[in-house]
């Protein structure tokens, strides 16, 4: 259990590992789907190409869209591309890096389907059986053009009476299957060569730009995650304080109406609920979260985060970070300790 827990924490803390795992899972699902699919070519001249090419290209398109939906970075990339500039300029290089990363992972499952279909050959035979040149085969010399087209359309259906045990059908099917497998293996070899060259030639060039774009693409993803987590933490704390405020107001109202069983003179004064101690690790964050204490302030905070993201400079003027909820930047003397509650 400890090993599984450590593995789960690793995947949870690493967005790249999660995306790679999803990519491998989609590829495995693709292999399973193709192996369990029942292929039935219509064996009609008008519909063979439509069915074969549709089966060859439609599932990869669906798998590609599933890969985009499952990849969280695709949403982060679009948000980074479409966000207002605000106090933080947009770097097109980061967006291109994120787009490349998203597309590489999303294309894995569609390529697996296409390669499996080409190496198997059934889709290719069905799609292009009617497009074969009859002059390449001697068995069609005694047939009329209409008979040739009808015969070629029936090639994928080996159990059909017209082509059953026909050497011509076997020759056409063998020819198309070999061509399909040649294309499949050529694409596989090309992909392997491209991946090999990309991996081997990358260290030969300057890595500065690559490292910068990788760092800031990870930063954009992690920043959005931390903002969502902080919003959830604030929502929980805000709801907790609203519920406590409701119970306190109801207690005062019941006391004013005399609904208490014991007399008000015998009741001790209600004690104020002490604030939780704020240590060095979370005190300042709690103070900033508790400063946002109304619906208008929360809406203004979310709108400011979307329209004017803070600059990537922790030493910048505080006014560049949104100016506070009251649109005023407090001036603090050096050495003065900030209060735990912000003036709103």
pLDDT tens digits, residue range 104-134?
989 999 999 999 999 999 999 999 998 998 8
Among 111-120, 161-170, 219-228, 229-238, the least confident range: 161-170
pTM of the prediction? 0.73
Helix or strand run (H / E) with residue 149: helix 145-153
258-263: average pLDDT: 55
On the question of pLDDT at 185 being above 90, the answer is yes
Q: Which is more confident, 93 or 37?
A: 93
Q: Are 325 and 269 in contact (CB under 8 A)?
A: no
On the question of pLDDT at 288 being above 80, the answer is no
301-308: average pLDDT: 87
Distance CA 231, CA 254 (A): 34
181-192: average pLDDT: 96
- Per-residue pLDDT of 56-112, as tens digits, reads 999 999 999 998 988 888 888 998 898 888 888 888 999 999 999 999 989 999 999
* Phi, psi values for residue 99, rounded to 5°: -65, -40
- For the chain, give the percent of residues with pLDDT over 90: 31
DSSP 342: -
Buried b (16+ CB within 10 A) or exposed e, 19-40: beebbeebbeebeeebeeeeee
- For the chain, give the percent of residues with pLDDT over 70: 78
Match 């061509």 to its residue by tokens: 179
Q: Which is more confident, 64 or 31?
A: 64
pLDDT of residue 49: 93
For helices 108-120 and 48-70, the axis angle rounded to 10 degrees is 150
Q: Are 58 and 105 in contact (CB under 8 A)?
A: no
On the question of pLDDT at 191 being above 70, the answer is yes
Of the chain, the end-to-end C-alpha distance in Å amounts to: 48
On the question of pLDDT at 273 being above 70, the answer is no
pLDDT of residue 160: 81
pLDDT of residue 322: 54
- Average pLDDT for the chain: 80
């Amino acid at each position: 259990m400890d090993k599984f827990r450590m593995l789960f924490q690793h995947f949870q803390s690493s967005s790249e590992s999660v995306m790679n795992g999803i990519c491998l899972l989609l590829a495995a699902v693709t292999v399973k789907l193709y192996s369990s699919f029942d292929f039935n070519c219509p064996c009609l001249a008008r519909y063979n190409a439509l069915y074969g090419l549709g089966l060859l290209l439609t599932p990869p398109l669906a798998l590609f869209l599933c890969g985009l939906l499952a990849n969280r970075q695709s949403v982060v990339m679009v948000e980074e591309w479409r966000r207002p500039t605000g106090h933080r300029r947009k770097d097109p290089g980061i967006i291109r890096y994120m787009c490349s990363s998203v597309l590489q992972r999303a294309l894995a499952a569609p390529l697996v389907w296409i390669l499996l279909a080409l190496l198997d050959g059934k889709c290719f035979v069905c799609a292009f059986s009617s497009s074969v040149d009859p002059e390449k085969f001697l068995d069609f010399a005694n047939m009329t053009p209409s008979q040739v087209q009808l015969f070629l359309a029936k090639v994928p259906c080996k159990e059909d009476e017209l082509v059953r045990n026909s050497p011509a059908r076997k020759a056409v099917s063998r020819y198309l299957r070999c061509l399909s497998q040649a294309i499949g293996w050529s694409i596989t070899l090309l992909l392997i060569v491209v991946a090999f060259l990309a991996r081997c030639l990358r260290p030969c060039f300057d890595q500065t730009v690559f490292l910068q774009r990788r760092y800031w693409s990870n930063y954009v993803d992690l920043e959005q995650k931390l903002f969502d987590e902080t919003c959830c933490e604030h929502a929980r704390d805000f709801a907790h304080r609203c519920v406590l405020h409701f119970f306190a107001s109801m207690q005062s109202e019941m006391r004013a109406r005399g609904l208490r069983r014991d007399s008000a003179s015998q009741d001790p004064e209600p004690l104020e609920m002490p604030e939780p101690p704020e240590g060095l690790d979370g005190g300042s964050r709690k103070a900033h979260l508790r400063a946002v204490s109304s619906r208008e302030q929360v809406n203004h905070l979310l709108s400011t985060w979307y329209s004017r993201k803070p600059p990537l400079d922790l030493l910048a003027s505080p006014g560049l970070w949104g100016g506070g909820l009251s649109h005023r930047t407090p001036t603090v003397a050096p050495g003065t300790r900030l209060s735990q509650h912000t003036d709103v």
